[in-house]
Structure 1
Amino acid sequence: MFEFKRIFKKSKYIEVKNLENEDGDKKPNIPSGMWVKCETCGKILYKKDLESSIMTCDNCRTHFRIGCRERIDYTIDKGTFKEYDEFMISGNPIDFKGYTEKLQTIRDKTLLNEAVITGEGKINGQDTLIAVMDSNFMMGSMGSVVGEKITRVIEKATESKKPIIIFTASGGARMQEGIFSLMQMAKTSAAIARHNESGNLYITVLTDPTTGGVTASFATLGDIILAEPNALIGFAGKRVIEQTLKQQLPEGFQRAEFLLEKGFIDKIVDRKVMKETLAQILKLHL
């Protein structure tokens, strides 16, 4: 059974460190961090090989979680990305105790100002606007700044008559901002509706995890909805739903493969071919 708390794990691999035998000698004598273990299949992977395969396990196809800047590097043509609203940061609208200090600590640790980066660039030479969420920043939770940045980039796409692609990765609404966080669901959805009415393309790519208020708003409103393999996609946790419905739910019902079978998403795309897939979609909709 899937434990909803697992979405807060930083990654799906463990760094393999040197082990000591009874005599205190290190065995084997390998530099720490050179190898990592895939938590899904247990295979020991050479870290440089893992990075060259865009952080996907070559044995079981597990897609490790990556940061937003890494994803932009993998997706957008080199030298074409222009970031929007780079220095926009969250306040503390409901005076939640310790929230301001926590935000600063996370900024220092991640070198990000918020849980999403937005901007414009080219994919195989084709113009697009893009927003990429990052689960390393408060689990990608959607506060007022995340909602504002996403709304602004959608509106810029509408005004410029360009497509927009949003990579989602979120634990849901940010509780430290209360109703201000929940308001972002309506705001982003309204911006998407205007973009749709203007006849412009909107693509969403659901990555692990995409949950809560983000799933219930802009994440699932794409004209085309893609997902990475085995991505967790849902609103509430399995146990909450089972307790509410008073019935047992099938195993893996919130995973991308199950949702593809039910028509909730359009295609599951490996990270290695994601850029080419997006480029083909953009070309078809010129």
Structure 2
Amino acid sequence: MSWLNSVRNVLSFVSKKETPENLWHKCKGCGQMIFIRELEENAYVCPKCDHHDRIGPKERFRQLFDENSCAELPAPKVPEDPLKFRDSKRYVDRLKAARAANSESDALVNARGTILGNRVVVGVQDFGFMGGSMGLAVGEAFIRGVEAAIADRCPYVIFTASGGARMQEGILSLMQMPRSTVAIQMLHDAGLPYIVVLTDPTSGGVMAAYAMLGDVQIAEPKATLAFTGRRVIESTIREKLPEDFQTSEYYLDHGLIDMVVHRHDLRERLATVVGYLCGDRKAA
């Protein structure tokens, strides 16, 4: 018997230790494998290439809010399948699968709290929930977030991450665009600021609605920001677009947003902006 077979026989009697599936993370920016704990400690920013990974509402709230100040707003109740839609799967089955995978009722979650002592209501879209798509639940949650900000006399800050309107809700999804616009006007009528933080990716109907209506427009680095896809635009205008087209940096260079802020600096920058705009409303 060779030494290799001997080793195999020994190993066959040794219980195998399972490697946890969440021990390593492959960076979408550089393709390197990163120890998941190292990524978490770095705010889900790749320590090798600085790629900003997508994060959900709970992690975003944890990074932003002062300790013990965060209180999530209840999710609004809306008709779940108004069109009785079915493609390869029933819409209600897709919703169940998304809820099981993300532990949220839909793609937009609101919370009130303080950021370095400044009162805010923050809404976070979760791209992991059906691509952050905008349907009745997202539109209603947006309005509830605005109403909460008005009640608290503080800004409403929205973190956008969406593939656009939710096709399974048809025209009802598209109607959330004017509804959100009216809600923003309500906020302005109350003399309160509306702050947008664009994250990767933000596109479609969300980009055409509340994502680009902020009094202050902030974006995370290298986020994809677009109404429609590159190939559609290139085939329409019959021209080759720049490589950095539809990125945060391109938008900043062309005056479409106010600033690009690294995730490590975002909490302090938001506190500064809110302090300038609502300094007299700082929490006790």
TM-score for the superposition, normalised by structure 1:
0.86
Partner of 2:121: 129
- 1:61-80 maps to which residues of 2 (within 5 A)? 61-80=50-69
Deviations 1:55-78 (A, max 9, x none): 001221100111111101111112
41-50 or 112-121, larger mean C-alpha shift: 41-50
Q: Percent identity?
A: 40
Name structure 2 gaps, 5 residues minimum: 1-7, 12-16, 280-284
Partner of 1:3: none
Partner amino acid, structure 2, of 1:40: G
- 1:93-112 maps to which residues of 2 (within 5 A)? 93-97=82-86, 98-112=90-104
The question of 1:206 aligning with 2:190 is answered no
TM-superposed CA distance for 1:44, in Å, is 3.1
Rg larger in structure: 2
* Structure 1: distance between partners of 2:256 and 2:59: 27
* Structure 1: distance between partners of 2:39 and 2:151: 40
61-70 or 39-48, larger mean C-alpha shift: 39-48
* Structure 1: distance between partners of 2:45 and 2:151: 36
The question of 1:258 aligning with 2:250 is answered yes
Partner amino acid, structure 2, of 1:66: I
> 1:234–1:69: structure 2 CA closer, same or farther, 3 Å change rule?
same
TM-superposed CA distance for 1:272, in Å, is 1.1
> 1:68–1:90: structure 2 CA closer, same or farther, 3 Å change rule?
farther
The 8 Å contact of residues 76 and 141 in structure 2, kept in 1 or not, is answered as no
> 1:234–1:45: structure 2 CA closer, same or farther, 3 Å change rule?
same
The 8 Å contact of residues 89 and 113 in structure 1, kept in 2 or not, is answered as no
- 1:198-277 maps to which residues of 2 (within 5 A)? 198-277=190-269
Partner of 1:115: 107
TM-superposed CA distance for 1:41, in Å, is 1.9
- 1:134-213 maps to which residues of 2 (within 5 A)? 134-213=126-205
* Structure 2: distance between partners of 1:237 and 1:217: 17
Partner amino acid, structure 1, of 2:115: I
The question of 1:44 aligning with 2:36 is answered no
* Structure 1: distance between partners of 2:189 and 2:239: 40
- How well do the aligned residues superpose, as a CA RMSD in angstroms? 1.9
Deviations 1:242-268 (A, max 9, x none): 122222211121011111100111111
- Secondary structure at the aligned position of 1:42 is classed as coil
- Secondary structure at the aligned position of 2:226 is classed as coil
* Structure 2: distance between partners of 1:83 and 1:34: 29
TM-superposed CA distance for 1:241, in Å, is 1.1
Partner amino acid, structure 1, of 2:205: G
The 8 Å contact of residues 89 and 114 in structure 1, kept in 2 or not, is answered as no
TM-superposed CA distance for 1:278, in Å, is 0.6
TM-score for the superposition, normalised by structure 2:
0.87
Name structure 1 gaps, 5 residues minimum: 1-22
Partner of 1:17: none
TM-superposed CA distance for 1:42, in Å, is 3.1
Matched positions, count = 261
TM-superposed CA distance for 1:89, in Å, is 5.3
- Secondary structure at the aligned position of 2:218 is classed as strand
The question of 1:92 aligning with 2:81 is answered yes
Partner amino acid, structure 1, of 2:30: C
